[in-house]
Amino acid sequence: MKIFRGCFVLIFILFLSSIPALADDKSLERQPALPQEHVRKLKRIASFIAAELQRRPVKSVTVEDFTDFYKRPSATGTRMAREFSRQLAALGDKNFRVLPDGGDVIVTGVVVPFRGGGKLKLDIKVVSADGSKIITSYSGIVLKKIKTVKK
């Protein structure tokens, strides 16, 4: 009986420890889609970076999740990185491939909200896989969608 109780407690503890990991995976799926302004801006940035990558002997690209100012992952940064990865893959289908891991170059990004809440600062850097060279970078502002009040 003690063995059965010990096994039950062990399984219960393992189950409880896996709940936060399951919640993190599903929380990204429940996040709302990016506003169209963000998608358009990311498409323009991806076309700029794809043009730079096509001039170089790059065969594969890895896009990491964008972080906040303190290098912590954020939901907005993760969604923006996924959309940026999709846009970059669509633009570089013949010249380079976007891989989840192990690319020739790595795209990193930082998303920082302004205090007023109406804008996001977006910094994107493309570095070689060994980190020795910055290939290209982008820094700009993305406007958040502001709700207007009808009179």
Whether residue 103 contacts residue 83, with contact meaning beta carbons closer than 8 Å, is answered with no
- Look at residue 82 in the predicted model and tell me its pLDDT: 93
Domain containing 59: what range?
33-143
The total of other beta-carbon atoms located within 10 Å of residue 5's CB is 9
* 8 within a domain of the structure (yes/no): no
* 27 within a domain of the structure (yes/no): no
Tell me the pLDDT band of 146, cut-offs 50, 70 and 90. low
Q: Which residues of 34-48 are buried (b: 16+ CB within 10 A; e: fewer)?
A: beeebeebbbebbee
User: Is pLDDT at 38 greater than 80 in this prediction?
Assistant: yes
Q: Which residues of 13-29 are buried (b: 16+ CB within 10 A; e: fewer)?
A: eeeeeeeeeeeeeeeee
User: Is pLDDT at 95 greater than 90 in this prediction?
Assistant: no
* 98 within a domain of the structure (yes/no): yes
Question: How many domains does one find in the chain?
Answer: 1
* 111 within a domain of the structure (yes/no): yes
User: Is pLDDT at 78 greater than 70 in this prediction?
Assistant: yes
Q: CA 97 to CA 105: how far, in whole Å?
A: 11
* 114 within a domain of the structure (yes/no): yes
Query: Any idea which of 7-16, 87-96, 111-120 has the lowest mean pLDDT?
Result: 7-16
Tell me the pLDDT band of 119, cut-offs 50, 70 and 90. confident
Predicted TM-score (pTM) of this structure: 0.71
Tell me the pLDDT band of 83, cut-offs 50, 70 and 90. very high
Handedness of CA 144, 141, 52, 47 (dihedral sign): positive
The two structure tokens encoding residue 48: 């700029």
User: Is pLDDT at 24 greater than 50 in this prediction?
Assistant: no
- Look at residue 79 in the predicted model and tell me its pLDDT: 92
Task: Locate all alpha helices (DSSP H) within 31-121, ordered by sequence.
Answer: 36-54, 75-91
User: Is pLDDT at 23 greater than 50 in this prediction?
Assistant: no
